[in-house]
Amino acid sequence: MTPDAYRPRDSSIEFAADIDLLAGLWQEAPFARLPSDAPPEVKAAVQNVENPARVYAIHQASRRHGFQLLVERYIHQLRSGCDNVNCATPTCFTCRRRLAGKAPVRKYNTTSARTLAIYLASQDDPEKDLCSFLRKSPEPSAALNNLIFSARSPTQPHPDDKRTNAITSPGARKNRVSRPRLSSSSSQDSIPTARHAPHSSGGSTSHVQVMEGPVNKDHRSFAANLFGTVTFKMLEWLTPKSMAAMSDKLGNFEVSDLKTPMMDLDTLQESSSLTSTSTDLETQKILPHKPNAPKPTNMPNQSQDIDWDECPFPTMSPKSRHDSIHKSQNNASAKTRKHSIDTSDPVKGEDGTKAVKLPQINGHLRDKSLRTKNSKHVTVSTMSAIPTKREYFESTPKPPSDPTLPSLPLASQANAADLHDNQSKGCDEEDIVSPESNHSEVEFKAVPPQSCDSILPQALTKLDVDLVNFICDVYEEDDMSGSCHVSTYKTNYPYPQPVDERKSLRRHSMLHTTRSREQWLRFNEQALFYVLTDPQSVVLSFTQEHKLYDSQTLWYCFHRLCRVTSNLVFHSLWLAAARLFIPPQDLKSSSFSKRMNGRKPQKRVEALPDLEAGYLMSICMHALVAATPVVGDSRTLYELSRVRSNGLTLAGGSAISRQPSSRCLDYDDAFSNEVAARLARRLFCAITARRCFADRAHPAGRLEGLNDCDILQPLVNQLDFLSTGSASILEFPRDERLLHETRVPTVLLDWARTVLLNEWDGRAHFVMDGPFGGALSFIETLHRSRNLLLLGDVQFRVDYLSERLDFIEMPVEWLSFKSTRWRRHILDYPYIFSPETLVSFFRSINFARMSRMFEESSSLKTRMSAIVDPGSLITNPHHKMVLQDLLRTASSKYLVLEVGRENVARDAFDQLWRRERRELLRPLKVHLGENSGEEGFDSGGVQQEFFRLAIAECLDPGFGAFTVDERTRMAWFAPGSLTEDWKYELVGLLMSLALYNGLTLPVTFPRALYRKLLGNPVEELHHIADGWPDLASGLTTLLEWDEKNGLIEDIFARTYEFSVSSLGTIVTREMRADGSTVWPNAASSSTDIEPPHMNNSDDAPLVSNDNRDDYVIDYIRYLTDASIRRQYLAFERGFASCLDKKSLSLLCPSTLQSLVEGVQEIDIGELKRYARYVGWDTSHRTIKDFWSIVKRYDEGMKQRLLEFVTSSDRVPVGGMKNLQFVIQKNGEEDGTGGHLPTAYTCYGTLLLPEYRDKEVLRERLGMALQNAQGFGFA
């Protein structure tokens, strides 16, 4: 699960340095400020940033620093382990050694440990696998053991010095970071070179060369070569502990004119991640506070989890942006050479460690630190580093000639002009004091706020459409979109443009210099980071009058942002989404707080209200949609989505391979972006978390379906394009609007599928508090609103899962699985599987139950045979007979029915009445017509014939139990029928037996019956359209009638009643919403004093414009429920006799209808494709003539052919591929006569002789189909 951003951190790690780290970063970070050529609309939306944690450069550096420390701890855990002999952490060396016992255990080498540590530290919850017993290692990283330090003569110039002098200024030349010279031919690699700068102007420069010793590695291993590069080694070399160790080694090479060496790492530029201006911040180590130093009250998590608004770092008062700017006493003589970075002598701290004073810049310490509101003294922690080390970011340039202007770090040169302005506004030397040389506390004087406000970083207060367009235009004009962040797709891909013209913001200066580009790049990054990391700012940016932007405008804004800086956008939103996991204040359950946070945070973070949380969720979801490339039509989008549903990147040779590979790869690249995928995982985890908060806030439980407090409700409302709940900002063409209606839900489902495929562990059950459960909850929400969102059932499928599940064992295990709030089964979400897969699961469940019943009876039969055996202990024949009679029911292997053709239904009812459930669940065997001489052996075909005859007799309208529509030929319960309830129950039992044994029935029921059997409501007109098309058409006309053409009372003249014909009389009842009306039975005899039609209402109100909606709803309810409730309940009891109710939940109404009724449409071309031949081949003349004749058959003859061969005139669910249709050669016939074609219906085999010509074949085949009845042995 994505970890809570506010989870307390491990107490075994030194976190007090985080506060000092931010203080040091605030001192040296380059501040992004609005360039002077900005338009006035942008200037009006700018504010100063006072929280250092909200500065993007500081955030980047602190993240890298935290990552290095975490990698260092993991390496120590992997190589050395902890002190607990009972450690159970799998990645801890102590645990590995304990599990190995006396067997030898090999330690990871430095490269292997580094590889595993980087992987573990890169997870969503990086501290999850840390050993709780791990302690800080007193030794530096083992990677330093391979470094060789050697002195180099001062007379030898560095190979890069000549090049350095040619391109750098004298002031910045000494501290310049140069690229290392790595020789592949040498056994040693040159790493850094330390240069000792003298304190006197006449001193010479000496060098210390650092070489890397030979390393044994497998050059064929990709991982060994990748993680063995200098880039990854820097993660261990540049930790504070390693830097201190290298400083100690360099001390052995001190020369007489040096007090302390300074190391210049030439290899820093080898790491692409360490070449930015904020790289060296991670190399600084801040020692622990003194014992009397104040402890921080809240230990923030890693940098990505820091709460910007609740950071314990002291905040500024609005009146003082910078409390002071420091100035040290410059007592050096005029002849003394000025260095860009001066050093100070170390002093002893109270804890006995050496304390190094902060580096001074040309005698002036440029202080950007913050002080507390109640004190003018700031405690500055000592830094365990090389005293003459470089600044946090880059080397300091040569000081300017103006003595009143302090020199700035190279990365802060962009702010030089602003600082110069501050000097002229009052930041003079009187406001600057120098720290005392023998104290670790420095006293600062407050600087007037009007003089130093301009040196604070700046950012936008919020975003809107115009500002987003302006920022993206600046990125594109300066061609900076690809320099820092890699977009998820090509930036030249076309995207839709709004049709309404808006005033575009432009910069004043048309000449864009390199410095201007860098200034705008830093400001844009800072502005986006500042706004998108704060949930309130995000919601404020994309709402208008407390309404979310419309879906397409919101998508357009993020689509433009993702084209220029996608990773920054997704990372910032990931930080903002962490606030979704903060529970409301009223949830005070200690167990819940422990479950969510481990322990209560020391400082409470405000939770987001439900509405703001829903808005933030919708905004982040649209950002994910914007990450995908634009496609031109919905068909292409569907096909790309189907490819991903199968877990594929390219369609390959499948039927969905219409799209070119380049388009499939571009689409897959969007979902392969790890930063975007991380945001998706956090959002899906937040769905479960917020719903858990809602459940605990309302112990009575949530209502079924969505409610106003659900976190996804704003998203669903926004995707309802007919709703007025969103603020319409931009206008797009109609075609693009229609495409967008398809794009958003389809891409969101693809994101949910991506998380499912990436997080699935191969098991059918899962926990709900992870991204996998959250993704399924999201799919469930969209499935409930599929009609509103215009989504088809096929769009919810994840075929990749169905192909990797056990079709036999898994569905059976699901029957006994009990789903809870925290643990679910994958079959609880059947809509992600195809109907064919669900049918296989359903039949597997039935087959497992049938097999269990068969095995139990067979086992009992075997034991009973041993008892009644002549040699058994029971010798009394009467006792044996009584025992056999008592155990006959339990020991019968099959459910055997013996029926005649004359009274099929009666014989079946007589033998099924009061049967035990265990008997009904056994395999069915039918003996049909044996009393009249038929010799059918039941292997499936006899059963099919039996059900066809029995159901046809039961549904006969002449018996009065069912009615048949004259147009659709669909059967329905007769209202007020005289038929007893037990007969309806037996009809339901017949249908249940057929479905349980995998047989189709020649019945046609409306879809409403199957909805009722599955527990789905029948409320809409389309629910009854197939069974009563004329009625549905009339009610639709009533609902759509415009009273401009006449009043409804005058045109339709309908009363608020329900009328139905029952046994020759019209029964009418006024419809009431309270359901108090009970439908009467028909008059059963002449003794009935008051027949049902005598109570017809005479004063029912007319249907009008006000009540026509209620009239349609009530009419459907009376048609499908109130008038036939007694008959349906009896039928439902019989239908549930053989089927497990939970297994029926796998099926939707259409799938259940196909299972019961089969498919009535017969495609001869598909039948020919799946037909098999025995003794024939497809090129034979008789086979060609056979298909030529069959193709010209009408529907009736096609059904006769199918019934003749398979005993059923319906195609089974799944189509012809699930039908057994074999044509076997049955001799040769000469002349015009000969044998007729015959069939083995149990095996789906047609015995076809070879006739003389096509006409004889036509005549003999037609005669066989029209006169086929009865069974016998061929």
- pLDDT at site 185: 34
Tell me what percent of the residues of the chain surpass a pLDDT of 70.
71
Interval 353-381: pLDDT, tens:
333 333 333 333 344 544 333 433 333 33
Closest CA to 1064 of 974, 971, 1003, 1171: 974
Tell me what percent of the residues of the chain surpass a pLDDT of 90.
41
pLDDT over 50 at 1112, yes or no: yes
Pick the more confident residue, 1133 or 22: 1133
The token duo for 704 is 């079924």
CB burial class (10 A; 0-12, 13-18, 19+) of residue 143? Answer: buried
* CB hemisphere CA count around 1041 (13 angstroms): 22
**Rounded Cα gap, residues 800 and 854, in angstroms:** 34
- pLDDT at site 1098: 67
Interval 769-808: pLDDT, tens:
899 999 999 999 999 999 999 999 999 999 999 889 999 9
pLDDT band at 183; cut points 50, 70, 90? very low
pLDDT, mean of residues 182-210: 47
Closest CA to 63 of 235, 321, 297, 197: 235
**Rounded Cα gap, residues 1257 and 1226, in angstroms:** 13
- pLDDT at site 321: 37
CA distances from 1042 to 490, 1051, 1105, 1192 (A): 51, 11, 9, 48
Interval 734-747: pLDDT, tens:
999 999 999 999 99
Q: Which CATH class is domain 1160-1266?
A: alpha beta
Query: What is the average pLDDT score of the chain?
Result: 76
CB distance 538 to 611 below 8 Å: no
- pLDDT at site 310: 37
Any catalytic annotation for residue 131?
Answer: no
Interval 230-278: pLDDT, tens:
889 989 988 888 888 888 887 766 543 444 444 444 433 333 333 333 3
List the domain boundaries for the chain.
837-996, 1160-1266
Closest CA to 965 of 975, 976, 954, 957: 957
- What is the identity of the amino acid at 468? V
pLDDT band at 322; cut points 50, 70, 90? very low
Interval 631-682: pLDDT, tens:
888 999 999 999 999 888 887 655 555 788 888 899 999 999 999 999 999 9
CA distances from 514 to 43, 172, 511 (A): 22, 20, 10
Interval 1129-1188: pLDDT, tens:
999 999 999 999 999 999 999 999 999 998 888 889 889 899 999 988 888 999 999 999
- pLDDT at site 1244: 84
pLDDT band at 614; cut points 50, 70, 90? very high
Whether the CA torsion 138, 141, 146, 147 is positive or negative: it is negative
CA–CA–CA angle 826, 830, 833 (5° rounding): 95
- pLDDT at site 27: 81
pLDDT, mean of residues 104-122: 93
- pLDDT at site 35: 92
**Rounded Cα gap, residues 608 and 755, in angstroms:** 25
pLDDT band at 1067; cut points 50, 70, 90? confident
Interval 999-1052: pLDDT, tens:
989 899 999 999 999 999 999 999 999 999 999 999 999 999 988 888 988 888
Pairing of strands 441-443, 895-899: unpaired
- pLDDT at site 138: 83
pLDDT, mean of residues 701-709: 52
- pLDDT at site 1034: 92
- pLDDT at site 587: 73
CB distance 81 to 94 below 8 Å: yes
Closest CA to 804 of 647, 928, 960: 647
Three-class secondary structure assignment of 625-654: HHCCCCCCCHHHHHHHHHHHHCCCCCCCCC
Pick the more confident residue, 69 or 1072: 69
CB burial class (10 A; 0-12, 13-18, 19+) of residue 361? Answer: buried
- pLDDT at site 871: 73
- pLDDT at site 216: 81
CATH classification of 837-996, choosing from 3.40.50, 3.90.1750, 1.10.150, 3.30.70? 3.90.1750
pLDDT over 80 at 1071, yes or no: yes
Catalytic residue among 131, 311, 692, 1242: 1242
Interval 924-945: pLDDT, tens:
998 887 776 666 566 667 888 8
- pLDDT at site 152: 63
pLDDT band at 294; cut points 50, 70, 90? very low
pLDDT over 70 at 175, yes or no: no
Closest CA to 141 of 26, 234, 24: 234
pLDDT band at 436; cut points 50, 70, 90? very low
Least confident of 73-77, 480-484, 558-562, 944-948: 480-484
pLDDT over 80 at 607, yes or no: yes
Neighbours of 651 (CB within 10 A): 19
pLDDT over 50 at 413, yes or no: no
CB distance 1189 to 1257 below 8 Å: yes
- pLDDT at site 765: 94
- pLDDT at site 181: 37
- pLDDT at site 266: 41
The token duo for 813 is 């295990």
pLDDT band at 395; cut points 50, 70, 90? very low
pLDDT band at 333; cut points 50, 70, 90? very low
- pLDDT at site 652: 63
pLDDT band at 349; cut points 50, 70, 90? very low
pLDDT, mean of residues 72-94: 93
- pLDDT at site 616: 97
pLDDT, mean of residues 1216-1227: 87
pLDDT, mean of residues 307-335: 37
Least confident of 429-433, 644-648, 721-725, 874-878: 429-433
